[in-house]
């Protein structure tokens, strides 16, 4: 029977040592503490660089929703928030190689300072697509922040301005990142065991 989790310590203790998805096993990779510490650093850097501007921070849904929330809580300067929704992975661990726009921006970004927030840059296709799309609206500037980057799997020429962690070319889940739409709610990041 599921026990009642009444406080944060109890919720944290319930986090798993291993996650089994069919015959695949995922093990802890980046702890909650490590992620939060890095986000504080990224937030400080972004706040310093944009302190005289009013940036519009644009999250790419779904994967970036948790990172985006934690990041903006560490950016105390005035800013605006919006979201794009893209889909590229479908239901599998392999990118389909195609990007689909599922929700467009509400904000007018002409002459605005845009900061794009991604959970992970893998081949770079999604970011390339977004950069080109946003570029058409003639923003004053555009920078990209990603929590994770897999340098070995980059196939497109993209400029990433702020990187949380560079990671090996292995599938990860948790903290916004899904496997067939599940596990986004985990507080930390797990990696597929070899
Ligand atoms: P890209 O377009 O190939 O750079 O892929 C970027 C998108 O694929 C990310 O925004 C994620 O949604 C998804 N993705 C890439 N690698 C992983 C992973 O290891 N786990 C979960 N999702 C991933
Ligand atoms: Mg994503």
Considering every ligand atom shown, identify the ligand nearest to the alpha carbon of residue 178 and give its number. Answer: 1
Q: Is the pLDDT of residue 17 over 90?
A: no
Kindly state if the Cβ of 70 falls inside 6 Å of ligand 1. no
The strand pairing partners of 118, in sequence order, are: 146
Per-residue pLDDT, 89: 54
Is 70 known to be catalytic?
no
Residues 121-140 have a mean pLDDT of 92
Please name each of the domains of the chain with its CATH number.
Answer: 32-88+95-169 (3.40.50.2020)
Q: Is the pLDDT of residue 168 over 70?
A: yes
Reported as a single tens digit per residue, the pLDDT across 49-77 is 999 999 999 999 999 999 999 999 999 99
Residues 156-178 have a mean pLDDT of 96
DSSP 68-105: HHHHHHT--S--EEEEEEEE-STTSSS--S--EEEE--
Reported as a single tens digit per residue, the pLDDT across 76-93 is 999 999 998 877 655 555
Per-residue pLDDT, 107: 75
Query: Which of 170, 176, 122 minimizes the C-alpha distance to 149?
Result: 122
Which residues surround the ion ligand 2 when the cut-off is CB under 5 Å? 63, 119
Kindly state if the Cβ of 26 falls inside 6 Å of ligand 1. no
Per-residue pLDDT, 25: 96
Per-residue pLDDT, 6: 78
State the number of CA atoms in the 13 A half-sphere of 90 facing the CB: 7
Is the separation of the CB atoms in 183 and 174 below 8 Å? yes
Percentage, residues of the chain above pLDDT 90: 72
Query: Which of 4, 24, 30 minimizes the C-alpha distance to 186?
Result: 30
Per-residue pLDDT, 194: 86
> Ligand 1 centre and the CA of 89: distance in Å?
7
Per-residue pLDDT, 38: 98
Residues 143-170 have a mean pLDDT of 96
For all residues of the chain together, what is the average pLDDT?
90
DSSP 21-61: ETTEEEEEEE-HHHHHHHHHHHHHHHHHHTTTS--EEEEEE
Q: Is the pLDDT of residue 2 over 80?
A: no
Residue labelled with tokens 């993209």: 158
Higher per-residue confidence, 185 vs 95: 185
Residues 121-139 have a mean pLDDT of 91
12/160 Cα distance (integer angstroms) = 32
């Amino acid at each position: 029977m599921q026990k009642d989790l009444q406080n944060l310590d109890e919720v944290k203790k319930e986090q798993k040592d291993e996650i089994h998805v069919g015959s695949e096993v995922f093990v802890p990779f980046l702890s909650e503490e490590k992620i939060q510490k890095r986000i504080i650093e990224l937030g400080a850097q972004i706040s310093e660089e944009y302190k005289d501007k009013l940036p519009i921070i644009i999250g790419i849904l779904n994967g970036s929703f948790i990172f985006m929330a934690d990041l903006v809580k560490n950016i105390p300067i005035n800013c605006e928030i919006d979201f794009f929704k893209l889909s590229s992975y479908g239901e599998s661990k392999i990118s389909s190689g195609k990007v689909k726009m599922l929700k467009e921006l509400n904000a007018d970004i002409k002459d605005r300072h845009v900061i794009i927030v991604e959970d992970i840059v893998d081949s770079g296709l999604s970011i390339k697509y977004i950069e080109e799309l946003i570029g058409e609206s003639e923003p004053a500037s555009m920078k990209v922040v990603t929590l994770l980057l897999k340098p070995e799997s980059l196939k497109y020429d993209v400029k990433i301005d702020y990187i949380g962690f560079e990671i090996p070319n292995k599938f990860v889940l948790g903290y916004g990142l899904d496997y067939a739409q599940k596990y986004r709610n985990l507080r930390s990041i797990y990696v597929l065991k070899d």
